[in-house]
């Protein structure tokens, strides 16, 4: 799993690439834990157009991170989900409380 970080109008954007599976989930958890810790009270956009696979542990990590942001008055939103990953969020109904946008620009314009 790889990631790139950039900032647009004061909003941190993390672009993920690769797979979130047993061999990468600890790295993914460390990345998101660091984001939550370092961005207290801020908004972070996670662009997942490069994520081609995510296991259930990956979903759990996203839920935990979402809660951490919310507890610290911040916000985590997702964008650019590939159809298979988007389906995971629909089936688990996580899309009902985690904001998910089709594109990065749509996410930024709705913040």
Task: Give me the CATH number covering residue 59.
Answer: 3.30.750.24
**Total domain count, the chain:** 1
Tell me how far apart the 2 most distant CA atoms of the chain are, in Å.
Answer: 35
User: H helices of the chain, where?
Assistant: 25-38, 56-71, 83-91, 104-109
Output the tens digit of pLDDT for each of the chain's 111 residues.
899 999 998 899 999 999 999 999 999 999 999 999 999 999 999 999 999 999 999 999 999 999 999 999 999 999 999 999 999 999 999 999 999 999 999 999 998
Query: Which residue range is the domain that position 29 belongs to?
Result: 2-109
Q: 109 burial class (0-12, 13-18, 19+ CB within 10 angstroms)?
A: exposed
pTM over the 0.85 mark: yes
């Amino acid at each position: 799993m790889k990631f790139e970080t950039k900032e647009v109008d004061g909003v941190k954007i993390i672009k993920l690439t690769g797979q979130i599976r047993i061999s990468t989930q600890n790295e993914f958890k460390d990345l998101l834990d660091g984001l939550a810790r370092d961005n207290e009270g801020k908004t972070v956009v996670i662009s997942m157009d490069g994520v081609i696979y995510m296991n259930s542990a990956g979903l759990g990590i996203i839920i935990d991170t979402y809660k951490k942001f919310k507890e610290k008055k911040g916000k985590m939103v997702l964008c650019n989900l590939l159809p298979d990953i988007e389906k995971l969020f629909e089936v688990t109904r996580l899309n009902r409380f985690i904001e998910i946008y089709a594109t990065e620009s749509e996410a930024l314009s709705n913040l």
